[in-house]
Amino acid sequence: MADRLVRGVDAARPGVPTLEQVAAKAGVSRSTASRAINGGLRVSPEALLAVEAAVADLGYSPNRAARSLVTRRTDSIALVVPEPDERVLSDPFFAGTLNGLASALADTEIQVVLVIARPGQNERTVRYLRNGHVDGAIVVSHHRDDTLDRALVELRLPSVFVGRPLSATPEVDSRLQYVDTDNVQGGRMATQHLLDRGCRRIGTIAGPEDMSAGIDRLIGWRQAMTAAGQRDDAVVHGDFTIVSGAEAARRLLTEYPDVDGIFIASDLMAAGALPVLAELGREVPQDVAVVGYDNLGVAASTQPPLTSVIQPVVAMARAAGLRLLDQLQGATPTPPLIFAPELVVRASA
């Protein structure tokens, strides 16, 4: 049936190279040529090379709709972002994610479908993924209540998370693939830099308590503070946005006015905090030294420029895309890929 479908589509396009012509030029059977074009399964390397050369010489392009019927593939993947629309459009993290994912898919015909999983619409997102619209999914900015990790495991849909998913059980977590940066080490590194500068009352504006990045960066801050024999009580939380950084900075300085160093868990929150420090008469870094996290471009444009821990978002998204491509080709799951953090020192600390 599948062979007849493709044959019919090819025959309906007069003057356009057909699958039969590709097979004849490559010196293989029509079924071998079809398998080579549709993924290369059960095709020898020699035959695959011959078919690829014939396709290039003849300018053959299979009809995408017919190919989907044959392969049961859509040649599309979803980039799932469980955040409000305005957050996706304003946060440079998501631009970096798209950049890295596009790089991973550059040599393929796979298209990316952006799925913004707005708060309270998890069921709609899962239903979309379940109904066969895409071949796989990349999930970024995952929150505990999204439950996308468990849903994707149940769907058996090829998927990769950018950032460690907060799974409910070890069983679920062991069946997920993800890439991340070592956020605990990054939090320690940022805090140690402040300690090495001589700061003795270091606070933190931590990230969301329902995201692994927020949790792990706070753990790193606490580890460095404990190792230095310092108190770790000066903690307020934001949600990785500029507005929340400004509000958190005001709370932190009100509750802990003796703070002389702040580790802020994202550069966007730091961009909101710096004007508040200036408003309150605290010079940076003379009165309060500040270290951020991400180094995605915002850090270099703040006043003063921000010392920041690198989160290699583009490289992480590219790695996630390549891992998803491997899954789509039938590869077995691989252990998590964790990038090492680095510190970029600028004028703020």
Contacts of 328 (CB under 8 A, 6+ apart): 73, 135, 136, 158
- In whole angstroms, what is the distance from residue 347 CA to residue 340 CA? 23
Question: 152-171, pLDDT tens digit by residue?
Answer: 888 889 999 999 988 745 45
State residue 257's pLDDT score.
Answer: 97
State residue 34's pLDDT score.
Answer: 80
List the beta bridge partners of residue 111: 76
Q: Please say if the pLDDT value at position 130 is more than 50.
A: yes
Q: Is 179 helix (H, G, I), strand (E, B) or coil?
A: strand
Is there a contact between 54 and 28 (Cβ–Cβ < 8 Å)? no
State residue 9's pLDDT score.
Answer: 38
State residue 335's pLDDT score.
Answer: 87
Classify residue 117 by its DSSP letter: -
User: Could you tell me the domains of the chain?
Assistant: 2-71 (1.10.260.40), 76-180+314-337 (3.40.50.2300), 183-312 (3.40.50.2300)
Question: 183-218, pLDDT tens digit by residue?
Answer: 999 999 999 999 999 999 999 999 999 999 999 999
- In whole angstroms, what is the distance from residue 102 CA to residue 314 CA? 10
- In whole angstroms, what is the distance from residue 162 CA to residue 181 CA? 9
Classify residue 120 by its DSSP letter: T
- The pTM is what? 0.79
- In whole angstroms, what is the distance from residue 11 CA to residue 15 CA? 9
- In whole angstroms, what is the distance from residue 20 CA to residue 191 CA? 65
State residue 223's pLDDT score.
Answer: 98
Is there a contact between 278 and 261 (Cβ–Cβ < 8 Å)? no
Question: 274-318, pLDDT tens digit by residue?
Answer: 999 999 999 999 999 999 999 998 999 999 999 999 999 999 999
Query: CB-hemisphere CA count at 13 Å for 27?
Result: 6
- In whole angstroms, what is the distance from residue 154 CA to residue 175 CA? 10
